[in-house]
């Protein structure tokens, strides 16, 4: 099946959203502010969901019959891009169904059917892909940093820890914990450029809820600290272009790691070097979700940036 390639002629690309939960609804609110895309349909499975009700009030066509209901909507014929904000388990069927109609797919789940994409790192390489995977919230927050370090010196091992407010982790997020760690770890290697990657997620039950915090550790043999710090700062600025609440918590830290440290067992053949530590926080824009839900905000922001870029190159 060929990719849908309707010429946009300067008009906004039409998008549909599958999933009327927190992520799908926040994505809708962001997309409603966009000059490059237009939300024309939203599909969910709960007829009483807040997301579907809000979509209807804004003139968006809705269905509570999931992807099957979506493809039956008259508005679907003109859709250019479908964004899936459901779950890894549901995505395989959702993707196959809309692909039968020749639609492009942006996947906000950890299903990883299509190539991993982190906008400031490798979006331009995958503009023709029929299905684009947005990795995970932790991946979107941390992989740009790993890539920035890897651009200056080989990264033998990268470990990321994403700490999110428990209240910002809905049923879909909790159901996908295993997929989160597996998908993020692979993307740290394939997109971030680390020889080996590891991902950890922490659901923080603190009250009041804390905003998303991310820690990135990179083990390198040697590096020019000034160049690495500058590369990290430049990458943070790129991400801030679509996630204003993304920021460094403190200066990049560099510490020696002796050859006898057990961590080197993770990278056979390498002994001794430097640990680069980067500490981040992500505050959400609060379009629909609370500001502390930066983990969801960075996913929806990255997906929207990707959809807008696809619209630009297809115009």
Residue 20 marked as a ligand binder: yes
- Asked whether residue 173 is marked as a ligand-binding residue, the answer is yes
Q: State yes or no: 172 annotated in a binding site.
A: yes
301 is in an annotated binding site: no
Residues 62, 65, 71, 72, CA torsion sign: negative
The CA distance from 230 to 156, in Å, is 20
Say which residues have a Cβ less than 8 Å from residue 257's Cβ, sequence separation at least 6. 219, 263, 264, 272, 273, 274, 275
Is 223 a residue of the active site?
A: no
138 marked ligand binding residue? no
Q: Of the residues 16, 108, 137, 304, which is catalytic? A: 137
Q: Is 295 annotated as a binding residue?
A: yes
Q: Does 22 appear as a known binding residue?
A: yes
Answer yes or no: is 94 a known binding residue: no
C-alpha closest to that of 280 among 245, 228, 309 = 245
Q: How far apart are CA 215 and CA 250, in angstroms?
A: 11
Question: What does the longest C-alpha to C-alpha distance in the chain come to?
Answer: 65
Gap between the Cα atoms of 13 and 78, Å rounded: 9
CA dist., res. 82 & res. 73, Å (int):
13
Q: How far is CA 127 from the centre of its chain?
A: 16
Q: Count Cβ atoms below 10 Å from residue 94 Cβ, excluding itself.
A: 26
User: Is residue 168 marked as binding?
Assistant: yes
Residue 271 marked ligand-binding: no
The reply to whether 21 sits in an annotated binding site is yes
Binding residues for NAD(+): 20-23, 168-176, 295
**Residues classed as catalytic:** 137
Binding residues: 20-23, 168-176, 295
């Amino acid at each position: 099946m060929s990719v849908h390639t309707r010429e946009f002629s300067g008009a906004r690309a039409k998008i549909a959203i599958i999933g009327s939960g927190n992520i799908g609804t926040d994505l809708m609110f962001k997309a409603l502010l966009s000059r490059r895309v237009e939300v024309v349909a939203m599909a969910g499975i709960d007829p009483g969901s807040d997301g579907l009700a809000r979509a209807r009030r804004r003139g968006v066509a809705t269905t509570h019959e999931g992807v099957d209901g979506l493809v039956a909507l008259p508005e679907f014929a003109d859709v250019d891009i479908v964004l899936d904000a459901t779950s890894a388990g549901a995505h395989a069927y959702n993707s196959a169904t809309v692909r039968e109609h020749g639609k492009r797919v942006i996947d906000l789940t950890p299903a990883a059917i299509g190539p991993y994409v982190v906008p400031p790192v490798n979006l331009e390489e995958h503009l023709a892909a029929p299905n684009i995977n947005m990795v995970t919230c932790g991946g979107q927050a941390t992989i740009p940093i790993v890539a920035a370090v890897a651009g200056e010196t080989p990264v033998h091992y990268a470990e990321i820890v994403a700490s999110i407010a428990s209240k910002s982790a809905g049923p879909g997020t909790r159901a996908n914990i295993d997929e989160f760690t597996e998908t993020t770890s692979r993307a740290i290697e394939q997109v971030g450029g680390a020889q080996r990657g590891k991902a950890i997620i922490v659901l923080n039950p603190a009250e009041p809820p804390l905003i998303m915090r991310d820690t990135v550790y990179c083990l390198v043999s040697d590096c020019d600290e000034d160049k690495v710090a500058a590369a990290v700062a430049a990458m943070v600025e790129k991400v801030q272009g679509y996630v204003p609440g993304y920021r460094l918590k403190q200066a990049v830290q560099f510490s020696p790691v002796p050859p006898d440290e057990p961590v080197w067992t993770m990278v056979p053949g390498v002994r001794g070097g430097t640990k680069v530590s980067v500490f981040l926080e992500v505050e959400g824009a609060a379009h629909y979700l609370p500001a502390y839900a930066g983990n969801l905000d960075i996913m929806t922001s990255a997906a929207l940036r990707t959809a807008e870029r696809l619209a630009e190159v297809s115009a």
